[in-house]
Homo-oligomer: A and B are copies of this chain.
């Protein structure tokens, strides 16, 4: 571990001399390598994860696209946030020196592979891609749930980086729990990206923040992702909503961090109507095995814990085979107010909880009973009153959706995949979208440096032609 970290640190130092354009070329080489090895990689992934081939092909496409998008963001210079204040003798607080600021990479980043996204949140997924885009080196901790795929992907990544001319050691993998802890503790590791369970994530967060030199820990832990159906939408479109809900919570066998775990609906449909609304879609779900035996066990215990809360009924019983059929639980809002813990337990797998409310006025109150969320969703019609709920959910979640389902997370400029604790350990950070790159950088200001001594991003002539802010005004580079 120590040797790997030192090599990664050396590679990070060596890469500091490279331009954003060179780094962008490494990323596009990685995207191309993923695409040209798609058949082999998807085959390995199907064998190890029980996920469908279609889903895995889509995920690989997304992962390659993400690398290309980050490369484009690098070329435009946006990630550098170059900011220039010229010297100003008349500045309001007294003469201002020449100050220029740019983002620089943090160093070696430790990244934990996630069980549920063998491409998008694993070896060369979002955390690795954003750390490399930032100019960092990456140590990736392989998730044991898909270790053959991870090793093969790592080989492809390392070979592609080498062919593209990146410094040797810029990307490496480690395996095992002991090495993982050593990575979080290593003095040369300067930040961590993690996607996983609340318990595991918090334990690693505690290690990262207890180091002699504490480091940022970007952990995505757990989320219930509530969906609030407003009365008019429910009255007109309950069948369509139940259909979408059933599709969303069973997608990938319910093993999404954005799976809708709670659906709030008006208390005016009987059990039979709801069962009927869900039945068609659920009948189409092909039960598959969960990702790992350990997840199968924790699914069973989380499901039992929620089902065991007073007042929770089983609306649609699943099965408890290795490939479990979907389960739908139900409870009344009055009970939820008495036992709000029913809203705090994520059931990672194909199960969900329906909460019946008496009046839409209860919804902000019920939302306040929940912890921080990655997403929160409203289904409403024009004659539904959404303002108060949008306001409450803004305070609770990283992403607020309207008349949609949270399981799709597009990679774009405006995306935010994060949220208040316990959804993540760093509410301001996103692990999806171009905003994720900044997590692995820090700003440095230069005062009165001679122009040639400045990094090119800050030189007066703007030799890289990047977007900058000068004396408070944004100057586009034409592209961005």
Contacts and interface: CB of A to CB of B under 8 A. Distances in A.
Interface stretch (A43-51, A316-324, A349-357, A467-475): A467-475
Nearest to A375: B447
Interface centre among A399, A408, A427 (most CB of B within 10 A): A427
B101 A415 contact: yes
B413 A446 contact: no
Interface in A46-87: 58, 61-62, 65-66, 68-69, 76, 83-85
A285 to B, nearest CB: 21
A386 B450 CA distance: 10
Contacts of A474: 467, 474, 476, 480
Interface in A398-441: 398-404, 408, 410-416, 418, 420-422, 425-428, 430, 435, 438, 441
A63 to B, nearest CB: 9
A345 to B, nearest CB: 16
Contacts of A68: 92
Contact of A400 (B387, B399, B442, B449): B449
B93 A410 contact: yes
Q: Considering residues A62, A387, A414, which has the most beta carbons from chain B within 10 angstroms of its beta carbon?
A: A414
Contacts of A471: 413
A107 to B, nearest CB: 8
A71 B361 CA distance: 36
B402 A450 contact: yes
A72 to B, nearest CB: 8
B473 A480 contact: yes
A444 B399 contact: yes
A270 interface: no
A394 interface: yes
Contacts of A386: 453
A241 interface: no
A274 interface: no
Contact of A213 (B413, B422, B444): B422
Q: What is the oligomeric copy number?
A: 2
Contacts of A403: 448
Contacts of A58: 94
A444 B92 contact: no
B472 A473 contact: no
A97 interface: yes
Nearest to A202: B214
A391 interface: yes
A443 interface: yes
A92 to B, nearest CB: 4
B399 A453 contact: no
A442 B427 contact: yes
B425 A99 contact: no
Contacts of A159: none
A38 interface: no
A360 to B, nearest CB: 15
Contacts of A453: 386-387, 390, 402
A473 B473 contact: no
Contacts of A69: 92
The 9 closest A-B pairs by CB, nearest first: A416-B445, A65-B93, A209-B209, A83-B414, A85-B414, A101-B414, A401-B447, A428-B442, A399-B445
Interface of A: 16, 58, 61-62, 65-66, 68-69, 76, 83-85, 91-94, 96-97, 99-101, 104, 106-107, 205-206, 209-210, 213-214, 216, 372, 382, 386-387, 390-391, 394-395, 397-404, 408, 410-416, 418, 420-422, 425-428, 430, 435, 438, 441-450, 453, 467, 469, 471-474, 476, 480
